[in-house]
Amino acid sequence: MQSKCGASTLVPHKITEVQATLTPDEIVLAFIWYVVFLFSTTCHEAAHALAAKLQGDETAARGGQVTLNPVPHIRREPFGMVLVPIASVILSKGSSLFGWASAPLDPEWERRFPRRSAIMAMAGPAANFILMFLAVLGIQIGRAMHLFSNQGGGAFAFQLLFILFSLNLLLGIFNLVPAPPLDGSSAVMIFMGDSTARRYLDWLRGGNLGLMGLLAAVVLFRYVYPPIHEVVTDALLGVQWF
């Protein structure tokens, strides 16, 4: 997401069917989802922060967020990166994970250089797509080398890589939805001239569009995303490459 105070990422994701109690296997699965979420959101926000720093805004860099160490990112969003994701897993009995993170930006820098802000916004989803393709490559190599054939470490490795693939596909696509406060609402400025982009920013930041945009994006995404996930999964994992 992109907001006046920074760029953020949001993860609404369904993990399993709801059960009456969490079994040990479901607890392990929920833990894997959380670890992958923490790593993926850290990469997402670090990409935002690095893109801003390289283009002249060191706001996030001064907060220590140009790093793959999750601690500075957790320090900025303890609720979104720790408390809410863990609580959502527990309260839903392992069926859902919900969380968010953010990287700050200088609103004056954004107004002076709206296209740079758009590049900053796109950097987060780009990091997620890179992680997604690395997961695909790992799965394809593992299949070719028959590393996933046993029920111990091989099965665990496949599950971990598939979760990395699925979560980062969701992160990348969802955050590019052009609805405030998601990254896509700022990314569209890459196609605008500076004066048009500034008028757009006045409209975007001037109203209370964040909650309405987020709710609309979540509702729409529930119907749009499943077929996207199916098509991408079939295209990238349905055929063995090696």
Predicted confidence (pLDDT) per residue in 62-76, tens digit: 999 999 999 999 999
Looking at the domain assignment, is residue 84 inside a domain? yes
Residue 4 CA to residue 158 CA, distance in Å, equals 39
Domain residues for the domain of 156 are 6-237
Asked if the structure places residue 207 within a domain, the reply is: yes
Q: Which residues fall within 8 angstroms of residue 152, CB to CB, at 6 or more apart? A: none
**33 in a domain, yes or no?**
yes
> Domain total for the chain?
1
Give CA–CA dist 27/25, Å, rounded: 5
The answer to whether residue 158 is domain-embedded is: yes
- Please check whether residue 36 lies inside any domain of the structure: yes
Q: Is 108 in the active site?
A: no
Instruction: Tell me if 242 is assigned to some domain.
Output: no
pLDDT per position as a tens digit, 209-240: 666 777 877 888 888 899 999 999 999 999 99
Percent of all residues in the chain with a pLDDT value above 90, rounded to a whole number: 63
Q: Please tell me the pTM assigned to this model.
A: 0.89
Per DSSP, which regions of 4-43 are E strands? 6-14
- Within 101-151, residue ranges assigned H as helices are 107-112, 114-144
Is 58 a domain residue? Answer: yes
Q: List the chain pLDDT tens, one digit each, 242 residues.
A: 444 444 556 666 665 544 556 678 778 888 888 999 999 999 999 999 999 999 999 999 999 999 999 999 999 999 999 999 988 877 776 667 889 999 999 999 999 999 999 999 999 999 999 999 999 999 999 999 999 987 778 888 999 999 999 999 999 999 999 888 889 999 999 999 999 999 999 888 776 666 677 787 788 888 889 999 999 999 999 999 99
Per the domain annotation, does 1 fall within a domain? no
* Residues sharing a CB contact under 8 Å with residue 53, sequence separation 6 or more, in sequence order: 60, 61, 66
- Looking at 26, 45, 77, 110, which residue is catalytic? 45
